[in-house]
Every structure is written in structure tokens, then in C-alpha cells.
Amino acid sequence: MYDDSEDEEDDVGYADPVPDDMYARKVGASPKPPADGLYDGFLKKSKSMTDLAVDQAALKQVCYEELQKIREQGKENEDQWQDDLTKWKNRRKSVKSDIVKKKEEREQIEQTTASSGGGSGGFLRSNRR
């Protein structure tokens, strides 16, 4: 009635697929040194104080170049944003001036029809609604 096969599967353990340090010592395997040659067994070679100063100067130069790139990107982004804003403002002005022109034309047509004896302009007003 009950199937105990699932419970048995949970109890089965598997070996760790990553060999540990003890296994490496047993079989005599040693880690491979990296390409830069700074690896000596387990510890990196020490550096002299002059090497550290050269490394720090190189790091400062790299950081400075990265900051310059970031500044340039920021300036380009700001310029692009200003250009987009100017385009948007010009579009808004253009649309607004078009609306004003249409309104003036409509009022002029209403005035000419009213003055030419076409009535009170009620026909145009009723069609506009």
C-alpha cells in the first residue's frame, strides 16, 4: 500500500565531485602555476616597495583614465539631453502656433460670414459642436 522506494532514494549519498586538498596530496597532484609566474607553491612571491610604488602609479593612471571616460560620457549625455529638450520645446511651440493660427482663421471666417449677412453664424457654430 505504501511505496517506500522514495524514502530510500533520499538516504543515498553521493561522493563530492570536487576533490579536496587531501586527495591532491595523496595522488601527488600539485596546482598549476599561473602564466604570470608569481605563484610559488601556495604563496605568491613578495614584492619590493619600488614594485608597489610602480603598481600604485599605474593604478592611479588607470583610475584617472576611467574618470575621464566617465566625465566625457556624462558630458555627451547632458548635451544629448539638452538637444532633445530643445527639440521638444520647438515642437510644442510649433503645435501651439498651429492651434493659434487655426483659431484665428476660424474666427475670421465667422466674422466674414456674420458681416456678409449670412446670419448670426449659428450654422457654423452648430456644425462645430
The answer to whether the beta carbons of residues 115 and 101 sit under 8 Å apart is no
The amino acid present at 115, given as its one-letter code, is: S
C-alpha cell read off for 2? 505504501
Residue 40 bridge partners (DSSP): 43
pLDDT for 124 equals: 53
The answer to whether the beta carbons of residues 122 and 107 sit under 8 Å apart is no
**DSSP code for 34:** P
pLDDT for 24 equals: 66
pLDDT for 35 equals: 59
- Highest mean pLDDT pick, 14-23, 24-33, 71-80: 71-80
pLDDT for 85 equals: 97
C-alpha cell read off for 49? 616597495
pLDDT digits (tens, 9 = 90+) for 101-116: 999 999 999 999 988 8
pLDDT digits (tens, 9 = 90+) for 28-73: 665 565 555 555 555 566 767 677 777 788 889 999 999 999 999 9
The answer to whether the beta carbons of residues 120 and 114 sit under 8 Å apart is yes
> Model pTM greater than 0.75?
no
What span, in angstroms and rounded, lies between the C-alpha atoms of 57 and 110?
A: 79
The answer to whether the beta carbons of residues 44 and 50 sit under 8 Å apart is no
